[in-house]
Every structure is written in structure tokens, then in C-alpha cells.
Structure 1
Amino acid sequence: MTITQLTYIVAVDNFKSFAQAASECFVTQPTLSMQIKKLEDELGIKIFDRASYPVKTTKIGAKIIEQARTVLKEHQKIKEIVDEELGIIKGRFRLGIIPTIAPFLLPLFLENFIKKHSQLNLVFDEIETDIIIDKLKKDQLDAAILATPLNDNTIVEEPIYYEPFVAYVSKKHFLFNRKKINAAELQLKDLWLLKEGHCFRDQVINICKKYCSINPQEEKPSPTFEGGTIETLKKLVENNFGMTLLPYLAVKEIENTENYKFVREFEKPVPKREISIVYHKSYGGKRIIKALKKEILSVVPAQLLVKEKSIIVTRD
């Protein structure tokens, strides 16, 4: 039994395909299949049902793969211990980041972070929260930046900043003439939302559930549209359709432009979302996490570091 063989069976389980697993492991499919067959012969069991597509694990195979994941994580820790002792930050670092954070936060810190840690091979994956959690547990990501809390005891959360929600209001909307708005004035039927799967969508709905005098479940938006990106929702507002809620950093980049006229902040207590770096509790690369957190804190506006006198909105 070798580390390579364990790596191969975990890859097949992740991708449910021998071909994709071989590509991910940078080997030919016959090589990968042969090594897995050797492991199965050594153990005297079948790990995968090769007759099924996508590939399925056998009952005993699932238990072996679970243990293999643990072994591979512990094996990686040996390298991380050495790097930690030598003060080195290098290797591959796979970072997940949700779509409502990525385009606004990454440009703020990425260039300086790369310059400071040139031996680090950064791999970014812009995906939704539930997919990130699954990939962290399968060791397909090392860490992620997303909105917390997650309420998952296998995931470590290190809060970085607290991002206010802001309103983006069209000229025809009754709230456009307000300097600031009260969360109780929100009407879900007027709000453009992101598609299901985005935690930001769930948070916006929860703001309405908490503060609106109208039951959000009874409101029926007209016309109905759910956007895939924040930029799409902004364009609707700019063309005189309704309003939407945005994360603070999404409007920070337009504060000196003509479109900033659509921005309205909330009265206190301001609804905010908690943004954290998260990673699986078995992850050993704490030095990378510390360096990443330090870099982000150095570029985020100071007012986002304050949690007090605000309402932290969750996705549940």
C-alpha cells in the first residue's frame, strides 16, 4: 500500500471517473487503474464498482477511502511542519471564494500577496458556499473565503471583516429620495435577487423576514427575474427597474462614478455579513492562512473591521 495508491482512489471517488482522476493526478488512465487494481488485490476486496457510471464505491470501499483521506492529510502535515519550522510559504494553495466576494476583494490584495509569496502556487475557485464546504471535506480545497457562520464543527472559521449591506435603488423607486433607508421599509417584491444557491440571496431574504412588516412569503415579485451575478442586478436598477441589495465592497469601487447616485446606506443598526477564512480542522497550513488573513486586513476599509452596533445576517 502506497501514498500514491491512496491518492488515486481518493481522486476516483472525487470525480467518479477513472479518466478524470488520471488527468487530475497527471498520469495515464491505465497507470492509475493498474495501481488501484494492485491495491485491491493486496487488500483482497473491491474498492470500486467499475460496471457503474459514474463510478461508485463499494460499501467497504467507501470506508477505505474515508480512511485514505485521513492518511493523506496527515502525510501532508509532515511537509507543512518542515515549512513552518523554516518559515517558508510555498507549494500549491487552493482557495475557494464565493462569487459575491471574489470580484471585489481579490483585486485589493492579490498583487501584493503574490509578490510577497512568490513560491506559492495559488489556485482560485469561484464557487458557491455549499460546493466549497463539500470540496473542503474532500480535500479538493485548502481554504476558502465566504460568509459565516456555517455551523459545521468540521470547519474552522476565522472572521476577517464585517461587510455592510447597502441598497442600490432606481430613480423610479420610492426610496430613491431618501439619504438613508430603514430595513423595515424593504419590500421583497421590489428586490432583485441572485439565483438560488447563493448565500447572499438567502441573507437578503432573511433581512426582509426579520424587518419587513409584510410577510416575505406572501409577496409576489413582478416581473420575476433572478440574476446570476451582482453586475446583472445593478444593470437592472440603473435602467430604472426596482432595487437590490449589494455588499459594501461592490459599491466601494464605484463611489467616484455617476452610478454612485443609486447607493443608499442603511440606518443603524446596519445589517452586515461576517466574512471569514475557513478551512477543514485537519488542515495544517496555518502559516499560509495567517499570511492571507494579514494581507486582507491590510487592504479592507477600516470601518469593515467593526462588528459592534450592527446586525450579523446569516443564511439560515
Structure 2
Amino acid sequence: MTLTQLKYVLAVDTYRHFAAAAESCFVTQPTLSMQINKLEKELDVLIFDRNKHPVEPTVIGAQIIKQARTTMQEAKRIEELVKGSKGQVSGEFRLGIIPTVSTNLLPRFLRVVMEKYPEIELKIEELQTEQILEKLDRDQIDAGILATPLDKTGIIEKPLYYEPFMAYVPKGHRLENEDFVLHSELRLSDMLLLKNGHCFRDSVINLCASAFPDDHSNHKTLEFQSGNFETLIRLANNGFGMTLLPYLMALDLGEEERQFIKPIEHPQPTREISMIYSKVQLKISIIDLLAEEIQAQLPKKLLSPQAETVVNPKIDKKLAG
């Protein structure tokens, strides 16, 4: 049994296709298949059911894959221990980040990190929260940036900043003449939302439900199969309601659109944005420097929660009804 064989097994489990797995490992399919066959003969079990399409692990195969993942993680940690002992900050770092954060956060810190730490090979993937958690569990990414708290066993949450929710109130809206938006004016029936799967959508639903619990007019809420705020802004400008935006998104709007941004009354609702990683993660030096560089590029007022309240990034069923 070799680490290479275990690597090939994990690749097949990930892609559920031998050809795709071989391509991801930069080997030919016959080479990959031969090594997996050798391992199966050595163990005297079938790891994969090749009659299924896509390929699926057998019952014992699933257990072997789970242990193989742990073994590969431990092997990688030996390398990280050596680098850490030498004070090296280098190597591949795989980062997942949710879409409602990536657009306005990545441009703020990426260039600085790449110029200061050219030895770090950053691989960044835009993922939704559940995908980040799944890939962390499967050791397919090293860390994720998303909205917290999550309170997941085995996961460490390192808060980066606290981002206020800002109201986008277009011309002609019932609130256009207000200097700020009251909590009681946050009505779900008047709110343009992102599609399912976005934690920002869930936070907005929680916020509206807690501020105006008697508003159950969900039928008036427009939902789009799109994950971008630009669409919501255009629809708001055309009279379809209002929307809420993260602070950094509002900050990056053009001058014409920024005039429609209004703060929400205190205590101002916020979302907590954190870097999350496994409790056994050894690339802590890279995680720490990334967190430091991110915070250095942000307005200082976002770095502590102060009097703001953090909104639950997952729908509170008690509030949402």
C-alpha cells in the first residue's frame, strides 16, 4: 500500500469517474486503474463498484476512503511541520470563499498578498457555505471565508470583520425620504432577495422576520436564480422594491447608486465574516498572515462588533415561521 495508491482512490471518490480522476492526478487512466486494482488485490476487497454509473464506493470501500483521507492529511502535516520548524511561509494554500464576500473582498487584499508572499501558491474557489464545509471535511480546501457563527464540531472560526447591512432604497420607494431605515420597516414582502443557498439571503430573512414578525406576505418577494447584487439593484431601480447589501458592496457602488444607500437604525445589524479551518490544520502561519493582511485593507470600524448585532447566517425557523 502506498500514498500514491491512496491518492488515486481519493481522486476516484471525488470525481466518481476513472478518466476524470486520472486527469486530475496527471496520469493515464490505465496507470491509475492498475494501481487501484493492485491495492484492491492486496486488501482482497473491492473499493469501487464499477457497475454503477457514476462509480460508487462499496460499503467497505467507503470506510477505506475515510481512513485514506485521514492518512493523506497526516502525511501532508509532516511536510507542514517541517516548514513550520524552519519558519517557512510557502506552498499551496486552497481557499474557499462565498460569492457575497468574494466580489468586494478579494480585490482588497489579493495583490498585496501575492506581492509580499510570492512563495505562497493561492488557489481560490468561489463556493457556497455548504460546499466550503464539505470540502473542508474532505480536505479539498485548507480554509474558507464565510459568514459565521456556524458552531460546527471540529471547525475553528477566526473572525475577520463585522460587516453592517445597508439598505438600498431607490427613488420612488416609500422610504426614499428617510435618513435611515427603522428595523420595523424591514419587510420581507418588500425585499428583493438572492437565490436559495446564499447565507446572505438567509440573514436578510432572519432580519426581516425578527423586525416585522407579522409580515408573512412571501408571495410578493421576488426571488431570482442569480447570486449577484447587481441584478437586485437594477430591479430595485425599476420599482420592484428595496434590497439589503453588505457594507463593502455598498462602499464600492458608483456615485449615482450610492446616493440610494441608507444605514439601518442602531443597533445596526451586521454579519460576522470569518476564516474557518479544521482544528487539526497545520497551515496556521498562512491563515494568520492572510487574516492580518485582510484586516489591514479594511476600514478599522469593521474590525470589532461594537454595538452592532450579528445576524444568524442560517434561517431561524422560529422567526421565519
* TM-score normalised to structure 2 length: 0.94
Which of 298, 301, 310 is the equivalent residue of 1:300? 298
Give the C-alpha shift of residue 135 in structure 1. Answer: 0.9
| Map of 2:274 onto structure 1 | 276
Q: What is the correspondence of 1:82-231 to structure 2 with a 5 Å cutoff?
A: 82-216=82-216, 218-221=217-220, 225=224, 227-231=226-230
Runs of 4+ off more than 3 Å: 222-227
Q: Percent identity?
A: 48
Distance 1:15 1:129 in 2: 20
| Map of 2:24 onto structure 1 | 24
Check conservation: 2:99, 2:227, Cα contact below 8 A: no
| Map of 1:235 onto structure 2 | 234
The residue type equivalent to 2:265 in the other structure is: E
CA RMSD of aligned residues (A): 1.4
Structure 1 gaps of 5+ residues are: none
CA deviation map 1:134-178 (0-9, x unaligned): 111111111110001122112211111111001111111111111
The residue type equivalent to 2:238 in the other structure is: N
CA deviation map 1:85-126 (0-9, x unaligned): 222122211110000000100000000000111011111111
Aligned residue-pair number: 314
Distance 1:148 1:205 in 2: 16
Q: 1:9 to 1:224 in 2, by over 3 A?
A: closer
Q: 1:189 to 1:38 in 2, by over 3 A?
A: same
| Map of 1:247 onto structure 2 | 246
Give the C-alpha shift of residue 308 in structure 1. Answer: 2.4
Give the C-alpha shift of residue 224 in structure 1. Answer: 5.4
The residue type equivalent to 2:168 in the other structure is: Y
Distance 2:294 2:21 in 1: 34
Q: 1:63 to 1:222 in 2, by over 3 A?
A: closer
Give the C-alpha shift of residue 210 in structure 1. Answer: 0.9
Check conservation: 2:9, 2:36, Cα contact below 8 A: yes
Higher strand share: 1
Distance 2:203 2:222 in 1: 21
Q: 1:58 to 1:225 in 2, by over 3 A?
A: closer
Structure 2 gaps of 5+ residues are: 316-321
Distance 2:47 2:297 in 1: 48
Check conservation: 2:170, 2:239, Cα contact below 8 A: yes
Distance 1:90 1:222 in 2: 47
The residue type equivalent to 1:59 in the other structure is: V
* TM-score normalised to structure 1 length: 0.96
Q: 1:164 to 1:71 in 2, by over 3 A?
A: same
| Map of 1:289 onto structure 2 | 287
The residue type equivalent to 1:144 in the other structure is: G
